[in-house]
A = this chain, B = another copy of it.
Amino acid sequence: MPKVSQDHQLARRRQIIDAAITCFARDGFHRATMQDICREGQLSPGAIYRYFPAKEDIIEAIARERHEREAGYIGAAIAVAGPADALRQMGRAFFRSLDDPAEKRRRRLGVEVWAEALRNPKIMALLRRGIDPSLQATAELIRTGQKSGDISADLDPDSAARAILALFQGFILQQAWYGDIDVEAYLATVETLFSAVLHEERPVTIVGEGGVRSKPPRRRKASVPAQRSKDGGA
């Protein structure tokens, strides 16, 4: 019965990871105890240890899930036509994902993972397996855009990729702290900042959590006038 057994195993892992996410998000990795997770997941310690050899491995599994989810945003964005639009698309998909309360809770946990990565090489490796390709793909997108003239040649692609990542990370952090930051206003500001270096916008396809849907270009107060700023080409 390898099928039933495997299904069961996956279901149990899910149950454990979900309980752990709840506990870790509430109390942090170190303050949440295995007993807490048992209680939350209606499981016995023995049951958990059958699926995860140590508490650390649950943390690792959670970090791994994060990294897999992350890879989706950039991948979906690259499929879009032009590089400049792909960047816009990536930003929108990312920020809008934070409207989902479940994602918000997971992100809160993410901050904990950031700190954990500093002490735990396995977590660090996992994190970088998620981030480094995104960073490189973004830099590559910029380089492509620069060659085609879509993106200003003034930008150092690597640093710009880091800056984009920073705008994501800083937002996650601030939202974890404040809880109620206006996503749309922040996204508009980010688009304004990049409007000077990203030369055009065409109709795009939005890829959100729930699937793919078409969308007309959003012309918003914040982003449009930026186009006509004095030294727009910089």
Complex A-B, nearest 7 residue pairs according to Cβ-Cβ distance, in ascending order: A166-B170, A196-B196, A30-B30, A159-B189, A169-B170, A139-B234, A115-B115
Contacting residues, chain B, for A225 (C-beta < 8 A): 152-154
| Central interface residue in A154, A223, A231, by most chain B CB within 10 Å | A154
* Contact in complex: A155, B222 (CB < 8 Å): yes
Q: Which residues of B contact A81 (CB under 8 A)?
A: none
A70 to B168 alpha-carbon distance, docked (Å):
22
Give chain B nearest CB distance to A200 CB in angstroms.
Answer: 9
Tell whether, in the assembled complex, residue B190 and residue A228 are in contact, meaning their CB atoms are under 8 Å apart: no
Question: In the complex, what's the smallest C-beta–C-beta distance from A134 to chain B, in angstroms?
Answer: 11
Chain A positions near chain B (C-beta within 8 angstroms): 27-31, 108, 111-112, 114-119, 124, 127-128, 135-136, 139-140, 143, 152-163, 165-171, 173-174, 176-177, 181-182, 185-186, 188-190, 192-197, 199, 220-232, 234
Number of identical monomers bound together in the oligomeric complex: 4
| A29 vs chain B, min Cβ distance (A) | 8
Excluding A114-B173, A196-B234, 10 further A-B contacts by CB distance (< 8 Å) are: A28-B115, A30-B31, A156-B189, A159-B227, A163-B193, A166-B168, A167-B167, A193-B197, A199-B229, A220-B234
